Amino acid sequence: MKTKRIITCIVAVLAIAIIWLLIGQIKGATLPEASHGGKISDIDGELIEPMIPPSTLFANEDGLVEVIIPPNLFGGENITSEEAANNYLSNQNSSLIMTSVAINEDGSITLFMTTNQLDTCRRNILTFSQFHKSYDVDSIREVIYDNDMLTEITVLVDFALYQQNGFEKLMCIPLLPVSAGIYQILTGIPPDEWHTTITIKDYETDKIISVAEFPNDDMYRGY
């Protein structure tokens, strides 16, 4: 029972973190908010524009973009669509990323966004995904995108520190693939077609520690 409670708590935290990464509100030793107007700092501290391909999603007649979030991006199988929708609505800054939310019959939810909210979400996700450049992390050295749709991501880590740091493992998996999945959907990939491969490598030796393709049934258990 104790183990089950711990797992439930972790899943709940992940579900909230997924929403916060969209808004850019996670700070400090955990996950900092998006800064510099959505720009990312390079290794020397210079500000660079994140690579953002144009979104193929268009506003409806009400001026809102309809973004469908599938259940595999809710934060775990124990999170229902109702709970996911409530998680979005209950955040005090939810108006920054959406105008309203609807629950769909297939178990997904739809976020209704303005084009400005959509742009903010995508920029916040890119800023979050480069967490090693602005966050207090011990083991993560680099996060490398192989393309601008985040379908291939390589994370370089200090292997010894990474093995000891459960929270930073959660930052890499599942939060990194979840952020990639939401980013892809915001950019126009159909909700049931998002995918990414996360490769974890040792920073010093370039040895592969793990390779995982997402989504998968175990993506919220960590690696």
pLDDT digits (tens, 9 = 90+) for 57-94: 999 999 999 999 999 998 877 889 999 898 888 877 78
For 3-7, 34-38, 129-133, which range has the lowest pLDDT when averaged over its residues?
A: 34-38
**Would you say 186 and 122 are in contact if contact means Cβ atoms under 8 Å apart?**
yes
The DSSP letter of residue 217 is T
Per residue in 187-209, is it b (16+ CB within 10 Å) or e — as a string? Answer: bebebeebbbebbbbbbeeeeeb
| 214 or 125, greater pLDDT | 214
Which residue carries 């400005």 as its tokens?
Answer: 116
**pLDDT value at residue 27:** 43
Domain parsing of the chain, residue ranges: 2-214
The side-by-side arrangement of strands in the sheet containing 65-69 is 65-69, 109-113, 100-103
Q: CA nearest 186: which of 111, 132, 133, 136?
A: 111
Structure tokens at 42: 């390079």
Using the Cα atoms of residue 30, residue 34, residue 36 and residue 42 in order, give the sign of their dihedral: positive
- Residues in a beta bridge with 145: 153
Q: Give the tens place of pLDDT for each residue, 153-167.
A: 999 999 999 999 988
How far apart are alpha carbons 223 and 210 in whole angstroms? Answer: 8
Residues in the chain: 223
Question: How many other C-beta atoms are found inside a 10 Å radius of the C-beta of residue 60?
Answer: 9
Task: Examine the pLDDT at 131 and tell me if it is beyond 70.
Answer: yes
Alpha helical stretches, state H, the chain: 2-23, 81-90, 115-129, 159-164, 166-170, 176-187
Mean pLDDT of 178-188: 95
Q: Output the six-digit token pair for 205.
A: 């030796």
Q: Please give the Cα distance from 105 to 108 (Å, whole number).
A: 7
The reported pLDDT for the residue numbered 156 is 97
Q: What is the pLDDT of residues 28-51, one digit of tens each?
A: 333 333 333 334 444 344 434 456
DSSP state letters, 43-71: TTS-EEPPP-PPP-----TTS-EEEEE-G
